[in-house]
Amino acid sequence: MATVKIESLSKVYSTRDGSQIQALQDINLDIPDGEIFGIIGLSGAGKSTLIRCINMLERPTTGRVIVDGRDLTALPSKELRHARRQIGMIFQQFNLLSSRTVAGNVAFPLEIAGIPRTAVRQRVNNLLDMVGLAEKADVYPAELSGGQKQRVGIARALASEPRLLLCDEPTSALDPQTTGSILHLLQEINKKLDLTIIIITHEMQVIKEICDRVAVIDQSRIVEAGSVLDIFTAPQTKTAREFVKSVLNTAIPEEVRQNHRPPETGESRLVRISFIGRSAGQPVISTMIKEFGVHANILFGKIDHIKSTPFGTLTLELIGPPADIEAAVGFLRRQQLNIEVLSENE
Ligand SMILES: Nc1ncnc2c1ncn2[C@@H]1O[C@H](COP(=O)(O)OP(=O)(O)OP(=O)(O)O)[C@@H](O)[C@H]1O
């Protein structure tokens, strides 16, 4: 396990034509032991730069990267090399050595570190077991599927027994099913090895499935950070809302919208209720109907999971006199449920 603290980190690239590109601005993050932390952003937002600054593959222009209390930006090169051994990394394109077998790839960092041959063999066998590739030890990368290649990448990253694992778009080159199995493996090793994991991605599905907390990066700045549940239920920025929308489609389906007729008497208002965990919406809704005399027409409902927590949304049409609807919405807002009053086309 490792804690990671990033303080006022900025990165400016100087290009050949003399211009400067601000890739990161004033990044501050605090990642505790054993967490799976996601960093999400669109292409060009600065994700790769940020993850490469965490292990000093890229030197920050200003700011500090503190891993387990040690400021990596201040370490002399020999100590930095040593500290970096405690940080493993996996890549979108796997970066395997094509001339080495699976076992040879996993053994590579151990051989470089001068570990005796028998110990290397033992550790490689254990790692291949852990990632489910014991049978592929003598096969070359070209003979593996994408998911299997990433498993080799993970085994290799774990070979030097890191306390922190950095994942640079680890599933972007994989199909959805293989993505699921790799994410599951990362979750397993996070628990089994008490490993802190930082994942950068542009896919909200990755964040939704395995991350505890997430930071949203947009045009070189962190614009929002918090628990994955909070960001999913109440995103504060447009960028975060767009990412949430990309995986939780809570919009009313077109066929429901088309068949929907406004009430003959009274006013109507569409309300979307989000609820987390086991707090079902039903008692709240029946109480609201009884106390405020409004009618509630259920238009659309959906249950999803964020990591292992159920997360539901229910879209209701409230019908009645405007003052009663107002009072009913006020009541819903007081119930610790996240309530959005929708316009007709949301
Ligand atoms: N070595 C470099 N020299 C100059 N500019 C760079 C360099 N690396 C990245 N940049 C610029 O820094 C900004 C952030 O790039 P970065 O690769 O960190 O974004 P990203 O979010 O990882 O994008 P992607 O998902 O497309 O990889 C971009 O404007 C990019 O063009």
Structure confidence by residue, pLDDT tens digits, 13-42 = 999 999 999 999 999 999 999 999 999 999
Q: Are residues 175 and 44 in the same domain?
A: yes
Residue 248 domain-assigned (yes or no): no
- The whole domain housing 30 covers 4-243
User: What's the predicted TM-score (pTM) here?
Assistant: 0.88
Q: Compute the distance between CA of residue 345 and CA of residue 333 in angstroms, rounded to an integer.
A: 22
Amino acid letter for position 304: D
Residue with tokens 């199909």: 175
Give every CB contact of residue 211 below 8 A, 6+ residues apart in sequence. 36, 37, 38, 199, 228, 307
Same domain as 36, residue 181:
yes
pLDDT single digits (tens) 182-199: 999 999 999 999 999 999
| Residue 14 CB less than 6 A away from ligand 1 | no
Give the integer Cα–Cα distance in Å for 200 and 179. Answer: 14
Q: Based on the fold, state whether residues 233 and 139 are members of the same structural domain.
A: yes
Ligand 1 centroid to residue 219 C-alpha, Å: 10
Contact 88, 162 (CB under 8 A): yes
Per-residue pLDDT, 203: 94
Centre of ligand 1 from the C-alpha of residue 168, in Å: 13
Q: Which residues contact 40 (CB under 8 A, 6 or more apart)?
A: 47, 200, 201, 202, 203, 204, 206, 207, 214, 215, 216, 217, 243
Question: What is the number of structural domains in the chain?
Answer: 2
**CATH code for the domain in which residue 275 is found:** 3.30.70.260
For the Cβ of 47 lying below 6 angstroms from any atom of ligand 1, the answer is yes
ipTM: 0.96
3-state SS, residue 240:
helix
Tell me if 280 CB under 6 Å of ligand 1. Answer: no
